């Protein structure tokens, strides 16, 4: 196998041994992508990756994927392809027997299935291994995925750069934004993300002007941007992973709240409070700090300013192959931060019927602190 997948599969096997589990089975999901570089949507066809505690992994897949799978840089991966006229369960049963997990295997094998595996495939495995104990593959894969390797960090930095360039372009348009509808501006942001190298938006772009900004996940509509409107802009794009082959992608995620013209005095107070809260949270990031402590650092600033009830969501979420994944930066989460973790820091204040303010950057935990993956201005001013 070739790096980084050699390292990832070997690490998965070590985790299986530590957990005294015999096999992990992945379904089309971020787990499969993490271990192979191959991304595909789930379907009714059997596409399953088997990673045993010992021995080489096996990928059972429809023959229509032959060309794509042959390009994966994993030399020790056995591919077992089946055509539509075949019974894929015969191949799956043969694979399990090869790992000594079928009828002649250990009395009680432990099989960890992908957390997102459809019930029909889980039931297939249960029928073929009636004496097995089943658990979730996240037990071994989540601790690996939560710490990004060099390839993943490089991809996330590039995604951050794409979002930064678009943020600067939109901010620089200043008064030209007046009269544009939220939906029109969201479409323009999506176009710019693609022009800067994004594969597709990582999530539905948020443009929330004026009182709509008080809805954290507002869907852009027909409201026209007016002079003096606070505008919450939350967007990012997937970029291709920095891999020799494969279809893995990593997202950007950045939020800025800007104003065309002059804002109200209260808006300036709120914006500065959110900015200070984000700064306090990022300053608290270091190995050994807990996710809950980062949330508390941001929340205490906002509560101290009298807006505690208006901060209605967690401070952040992990980012990797998924836009939302562990670690979750939320009060009460005692998980300790480790180098290589990447997550958003996005405190916000939302005043119903008036406006909202959110400022978000992605950060990577380093050996002694945090690295911001976004570097655009965090103030509200617009214009070139």
Q: pLDDT of 103-150, one tens digit each?
A: 555 578 999 999 999 999 999 999 999 999 999 999 999 999 999 999
Instruction: Report yes or no: 158 and 152 within 8 Å, Cβ to Cβ.
Output: no
Please state, in angstroms and rounded to a whole number, the distance separating the CA atoms of residues 158 and 236.
Answer: 11
pTM of the shown model = 0.93
Q: State phi, psi for 189 to the nearest 5 degrees.
A: -60, -45
Q: Is residue 235 located within the same domain as residue 319? A: yes
User: Which segments of the chain does DSSP mark as H helices, in order?
Assistant: 5-18, 30-36, 66-70, 88-98, 119-128, 138-145, 150-172, 182-195, 265-283, 291-304
What pairs with residue 209 in β-bridges? 231
Average pLDDT over residues 185-195: 98
Verify that 18 and 103 share a domain, yes or no: yes
* CA pair distance 101, 254, nearest whole angstrom: 46
Residues 303, 203 within the same domain: yes
Tell which of 110, 145, 180 closes a domain: 145
Question: 242 and 141, same structural domain?
Answer: no
173 in the same domain as 130: no
Same domain, 84 and 40: yes
- What percent of the chain is predicted at pLDDT more than 90? 88
Q: In this structure, are 141 and 157 located in the same domain?
A: no
Residue 18: count other Cβ atoms within 10 Å of its Cβ: 12
- Domain ranges, residue 357: 150-372
Domain limit, last residue, from 128, 145, 162: 145
Q: Are residues 182 and 91 in the same domain?
A: no
Q: Clarify whether residues 141 and 239 are in a common domain.
A: no
Task: Tell me whether residue 246 is in a domain.
Answer: yes
| pLDDT reported for residue 361 | 98
In the chain, the percentage of residues whose pLDDT exceeds 70 is 96
Distance (Å, whole) CA 370 – CA 384: 30
Which pLDDT belongs to residue 104? Answer: 52
Average pLDDT, the chain: 94
Same domain, 154 and 118: no
For range 15-28, the mean pLDDT: 96
Give me the mean pLDDT over the 239-262 stretch.
87
User: Looking at residue 43, which CATH number applies to its domain?
Assistant: 3.40.350.10
Digit-coded pLDDT (tens) for 46-82: 999 999 999 999 999 999 998 888 877 777 789 999 9
Cα four-point dihedral sign 253, 361, 178, 172: negative
The reply to whether omega before 327 is within 30° of 0 (cis) is: yes
Distance, in Å, from the CA atom of 79 to the CA atom of 95, rounded to the nearest integer, reads 11
Calculate the alpha carbon distances from 171 to 185, 215, 351 in Å.
12, 21, 23
| Number of domain units in the chain | 2
Query: Do 299 and 160 sit in the same domain of this protein?
Result: yes
Shared domain check, 316 and 183? yes
């Amino acid at each position: 196998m070739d790096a980084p997948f050699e390292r990832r599969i070997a690490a998965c096997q070590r985790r299986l041994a530590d957990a005294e589990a015999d096999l992990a089975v992945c379904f089309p999901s971020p787990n499969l992508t993490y271990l192979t570089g191959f991304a595909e949507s789930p379907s009714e066809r059997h596409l399953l990756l088997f990673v045993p505690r010992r021995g080489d992994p096996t990928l059972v897949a429809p023959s229509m994927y032959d060309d794509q799978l042959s390009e994966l840089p994993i030399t020790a991966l056995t591919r077992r392809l089946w055509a539509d006229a075949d019974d894929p369960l015969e191949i799956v049963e043969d694979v399990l027997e090869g790992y000594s997990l079928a009828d002649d295997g250990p009395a009680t094998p432990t099989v960890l299935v992908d957390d997102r595996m459809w019930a029909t495939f889980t039931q297939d495995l249960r029928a073929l291994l009636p004496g097995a104990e089943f658990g979730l593959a996240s037990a071994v894969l989540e601790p690996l995925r939560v710490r990004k390797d060099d390839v993943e960090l490089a991809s996330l930095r590039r995604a951050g750069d794409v979002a930064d360039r678009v943020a600067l372009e939109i901010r620089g348009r200043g008064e030209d934004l007046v009269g544009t509808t939220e939906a029109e501006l969201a479409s323009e942001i999506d176009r710019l993300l693609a022009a800067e190298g994004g594969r597709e938006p990582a999530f539905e772009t948020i443009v929330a002007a004026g009182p709509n900004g008080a809805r954290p996940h507002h869907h852009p509509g027909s409201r026209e941007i007016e002079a003096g409107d606070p505008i919450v802009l939350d967007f990012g794009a997937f970029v291709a992973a920095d891999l020799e082959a494969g279809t893995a992608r990593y997202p950007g995620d950045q939020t800025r709240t800007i104003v065309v013209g002059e804002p109200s005095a209260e808006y300036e107070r709120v914006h500065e409070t959110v900015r200070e809260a984000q700064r306090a949270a990022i300053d608290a990031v270091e190995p050994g700090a807990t996710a809950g402590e980062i949330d508390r650092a941001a929340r205490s600033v906002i509560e101290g300013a009298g807006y505690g009830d208006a901060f209605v969501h967690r401070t952040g979420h992990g980012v990797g192959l998924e836009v939302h994944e562990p670690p979750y930066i939320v009060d009460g989460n005692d998980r300790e931060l480790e180098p290589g973790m990447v997550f958003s820091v996005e405190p916000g204040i939302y005043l119903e019927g008036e406006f909202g303010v959110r400022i978000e950057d992605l950060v990577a935990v380093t050996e002694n602190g945090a690295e911001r993956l976004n570097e655009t201005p965090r103030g509200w001013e617009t214009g070139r």
